[in-house]
Amino acid sequence: MHLVACSESPLEQEVDFLVLGIHSEEGVAGPMLEVDHELGGALRRLWENGDFSGKSMEAQLLALPGLMKARFLLLVGLGPKDERSDERVMKVAAMAAKKMGDQGGRKAAFYFGSGNVAAGICGAFIGGHGQDLCRTESSLHPLAELRWHGGSDEDCQQGRDLGESVNLTRRLVNLPPNHIYPESVAREMQQLADEVGLGIEIWDEDRLVEENCQALLAVARGSVRKPRLVILNYKGGAEDQAPVALVGKGVTFDSGGYSLKPSDGMKDMKCDMAGAATVIGAMRAIALRKPQVNVIGLVGLVENLVSGDAYKLGDVLKSRNGKTIEILNTDAEGRVVLADVLDVAVERGADRIVDLATLTGACLVALGMDVAGIMTNHADWCQSIQNAAAQTGEQVWELPMFPEFGEQVQSKVADIKNVGNGRWGGAITAAKFLEEFVRETPWVHIDIAGPAYLDSEKAWIDAGGSGAFVRTLVQLVENCASEAKA
């Protein structure tokens, strides 16, 4: 997409679409006045007749007469001005781009007033990309050219970097499992590291054996696709500064193993690597934005399939940190993979860890499809993540980590077991399992099972991978950099 900041009058824009963002209490104002005058008061009549009110996510498409350079006018509602935010502007811009995306090659000029420019541009990138990556003819197309009125070149670049990074995460989640598997994700990460200047380590099966990652290796045994553990390294702070660790679950396909999922529960399990994809997208944006802090991104990549060598119910595994794990459900595999990856993060000297995983259906039951559950061993670090999520508009809710939940993952035949006692509190017992592998390091677990993958499209985004929490992770790291400076 060709992207430029512009200062011209809307009457001078020779584009396919002129997009005017209108606040609900302003009426015909700002750039809308110029267009209304050119149209002989048509927009004012639209407003006065109640055909367009400027409420959030409202849209009205009008064909323009030949006396204007633009072909169409798209009015979009930004809602009340005092509720304007990055999240609101991002979603409205995404909705506009999605509405214009039924054909390729289109040019658009956006007039959204002052502020939130990078967020709006990020949204315009998100709205024009969909899940139809394997169709011969796409049904959703990105804009060929985007002009944003009132933005700086820096705003444009920041918006592009973030939008493309969110779309990278979405693409990785949306690609089918015969395209995305541990080795192919590792290759994608190598290419990304080369492009944006990240350090990278790729641990193959031999290295995983050397590193005693027996829990991760056990989950991977059922597949002919060999596992990988990949570490991305961003050095923005002092050489001796402890890094922030971002950890992602990367189960590139999850059949459930011997605890086999039914077909309806398995068909979308390409999305079970969304935690890893989120870390990858965030690390790309971090490398491009260059905050002054050190960050490592770690992802454990496996397929969980069934074969004569697949791990079984009743198996006892020895994890990298020495704790033994009794397997009572092979479909509770993500936490087993993360056990070893979290231990690597601790060993690498991370002073704060956040992991992301499509971990439990229980979190969907508790919080629905749009809210991620967060669980922690450290109140201040958890508050930092809540603050970052609030800044981006992504929704999280803290679940309690009472000791009684930890008692449920104690095993009679090993140190711990990989499920709790029955269905109740399953998101929390999963987190209590993970807590066993972070030692005393401040840590937050984000269960993104709901928001990471959309079963149906929304006004502003196609169905499939959503790229949820890429923006929150980037904001979190930038906040950490600001705190380090202070």
Cβ-based neighbours of 205, under 8 Å, separated by 6 or more: 217, 226, 227
Integer Cα distance of 448 and 431 in angstroms: 13
Query: How many CA atoms within 13 Å lie on the side-chain side of 185?
Result: 44
417 is an active site residue:
no
CATH number of 167-485: 3.40.630.10
Whether residue 119 contacts residue 159, with contact meaning beta carbons closer than 8 Å, is answered with yes
Residues of the chain with pLDDT under 50: none
Say how far residue 264 (Cα) sits from the centre of its chain.
Answer: 24
Query: How many CA atoms within 13 Å lie on the side-chain side of 146?
Result: 31
Fold classification of 2-151 (topology level): Leucine Aminopeptidase, subunit E; domain 1 (3.40.220)
Q: Where in the chain is the domain with CATH 3.40.220.10?
A: 2-151
Whether residue 471 contacts residue 162, with contact meaning beta carbons closer than 8 Å, is answered with yes
pLDDT given for residue 339 in this prediction = 98
160 is an active site residue:
no
First to last CA, the chain: 37
Residue 443, SS3?
Answer: strand
Q: What value does the mean pLDDT of the chain take?
A: 96
Q: Which of 261, 312, 323, 348 is catalytic?
A: 261
Integer Cα distance of 459 and 468 in angstroms: 16
Whether residue 353 contacts residue 375, with contact meaning beta carbons closer than 8 Å, is answered with no
Q: Which of 84, 160, 335, 432 is catalytic?
A: 335
Cβ-based neighbours of 306, under 8 Å, separated by 6 or more: 222, 255, 257, 258, 260
Compute the radius of gyration of the chain from its Cα atoms.
24
Integer Cα distance of 415 and 466 in angstroms: 37
Q: Where in the chain is the domain with CATH 3.40.630.10?
A: 167-485
Other CB atoms within a 10 A radius of the CB of residue 235 amount to 16
Tokens in use for 285? 């944006």
Integer Cα distance of 172 and 91 in angstroms: 21
Integer Cα distance of 143 and 98 in angstroms: 9
pLDDT tens column, 428-461: 999 999 999 999 999 999 999 999 999 999 999 9
Tokens in use for 449? 């099972």
